Amino acid sequence: MDEDFEYFLSKGFALAFGCRPVTEETFNKYRGKLPDKLLEYWREFGFCGYEEGLFWVVDPEEFEDVVEARLEDTPLAGLDNYHVIAWSAFGKLFLWGEKGGQTLEIQSNYGMLFPTPPRGDGLFDLEIRVFFLQNPRTIAIFTTATIIHCSNGP
């Protein structure tokens, strides 16, 4: 485990629950699409909930239909291949773009998309480490980005 994920766990998220191991099929499906560092975290911890369900590291395959429905008829459709990597108890979905990295969040309970410009440097392993290095409660609750209102459902 690297020091960034160790920090994530030390800030009250050490008590994982509902953990499921990640299958080799899933690793193979997302290798080259998601950062190697995220796949390392999956291998060590699996898909788990943290802080009594406040934050979850999830199987992106389970959210493919949600991503497709949310992006349909928006300016973001087709810009990247997005995968949900985590979600919060407050309805926020954290997406990873194969080309752009962590450039999109969906606030499900408000039907809003929060895009951010891609960094463009391709340092995806570093970017995923920084994602978990943030205060986990901040990850789960707050976001700052441009808002795009969706008309395709809650």
Q: What rounded mean pLDDT belongs to the chain?
A: 82
Question: Which token pair is 42?
Answer: 């999956």
Asked if pLDDT for residue 42 goes beyond 90, the answer is yes
Asked if pLDDT for residue 134 goes beyond 70, the answer is no
Cβ(119)–Cβ(131) below 8 Å? no
Q: Where are the domains of the chain?
A: 3-149
Q: Which residue has the tokens 């209102």?
A: 149
Q: What is the predicted pLDDT for the residue at 81?
A: 95
Global pTM reads 0.81
Question: Which token pair is 82?
Answer: 């997005």
Candidates 2.70.98, 3.40.720, 3.40.50, 3.40.1580; CATH matching 3-149: 3.40.1580
Asked if pLDDT for residue 17 goes beyond 70, the answer is yes
Q: What are φ and ψ of residue 152, in 5° steps?
A: -105, 40
What mean pLDDT comes out for the span 82-96?
A: 92
* Percentage above 70 pLDDT, the chain: 81
Could you tell me the CA-to-CA distances from 110 to 69, 71, 147 in Å, in that order?
Answer: 15, 14, 11
What mean pLDDT comes out for the span 86-91?
A: 90
What mean pLDDT comes out for the span 134-144?
A: 49
Distance of CA 135 to the CA centre of its chain: 15
> What does DSSP assign to residue 23?
P
What mean pLDDT comes out for the span 38-51?
A: 92
